[in-house]
A and B are shown apart, each in its own frame.
Chain A
Amino acid sequence: MRTLGTLALYYYIIAVTFAIYYRLRDSGRIPELDEKKLMVVFGSGGHTTEMLLMLTKDNQFNFQKYGQVQFVIGHSDTWSLTKIKDYFSRGGTQIDWEKDVQIIKLFRSREVKQSYLTSILTTIVALLHSAWVVAKLRPDIVVTNGPGTAVPLCYIHFFFSKVLLWNLKAKILFIESFCRVTSLSLSGKLLLPIADKFVVHWNELKLKHPKVIVYKEKII
């Protein structure tokens, strides 16, 4: 127990030193978008459609603007991937799916109709997989509109960046689903405490949760 405490102390002395060093080094300098990594977590079905509608203009999206664009989809969700590719090709954007965007197929904690016992095991595997993906890709922002897989991934992103101090400027943007008018989704409720910005579509939700953002204009 004592050695663990000592280790943690050493870790934080080093981590804080680095954090201060980076803060001083970068003070007064405005970062460029092309040095930032954007991760979008797509869900299934309706979630994917909504996300595409919000991110694009005339089915187009500027991939080149960012240092790296990472699209996370469910491991078995071939529908979403087809939908995403279809959607962009309709806008006439020439995308090199090997180079312009990194596609990550995330192991899902629970497939439909899976038994309770095996779900525990697959949940652990899914958590480890999320941790590996986040540690490897180190996104500067995670954007999601609430599929179940996004919740553990966002918490891991939060843990690495804010608790282990890997990246104090890392962000989480959550956008609630268009069909949520009077109550938040389960993913929304779970991510509200750690999201840097939380966008909803309807004013009813803003009245209940003052922290959220609602735009006067339609965003979808």
Chain B
Amino acid sequence: MVERIKRCIIAVGSTYFDELIEALDNETFFTALKQAGFNRLLVQLGKGTYKPTTLPSLSSLDLQVEVKDFVVLDVLIYHADLVISHCGAGILLECLRSDHALCIAVVNDSLMGNHQSELADKLEEDGYIGASTPKKVLADVTRVLGEMKAGMKAFKKYPMKKEQVIVDLIDDLLIN
């Protein structure tokens, strides 16, 4: 029997988020991923200046590490098992709509006046994702990986979308 490949993605989006990459560029994170059965790790750096060194040096056949500045994530997220991301609405939506990706959204404090932690906090409150900070992210990710290994469901499945709500509303407004 062929085992399904398990994938983890760290994504910072179009800006930079060095604190997040730094917080996870270590053996603790790598080992936790490996123990939870992960085979691939993709790190997307954006415009960040911190280049991870520990993670690539640990890369092996069992758990291959790939580091890129920018990648088109939508299809990749659909096939991912764990996504550790910035709080952009786009990526969070893609995680919620993906088949099985668990998502941990990390608040980037260096982006001022940003409303996006509002969304991450709300989605965490409702139990659909985990929200974290660069300081807590290692502990939070390790905990979620432990739960995955134990076969526990860390987050709730996001409800299916009701189709055509807006189109029906438009049509209704047009004929009335």
Contacts and interface: CB of A to CB of B under 8 A. Distances in A.
Interface of A: 30-33, 36, 38, 45-46, 49-50, 53-55, 57, 61, 65-66, 140-141, 143, 171, 173, 175, 177-183, 196-197, 199, 202, 204, 215, 217-220
Contact of B115 (A36, A173, A175, A180): A180
Contacts of B158: 218
B173 interface: yes
Range class of the B interface residue count: 20 to 34
B3 interface: no
B89 A179 contact: yes
Interface of B: 88-90, 93, 115-116, 118-119, 121-122, 158-167, 169-171, 173-175
Contact of A177 (B89, B121, B170, B175): B89
A188 to B, nearest CB: 12
The 4 closest A-B pairs by CB, nearest first: A217-B162, A179-B89, A179-B119, A181-B122
Contact of A49 (B90, B116, B175): B90
B175 A57 contact: no
A55 B116 CA distance: 23
B174 A50 contact: no
Given A31-B174, A50-B89, A179 B169 contact: no
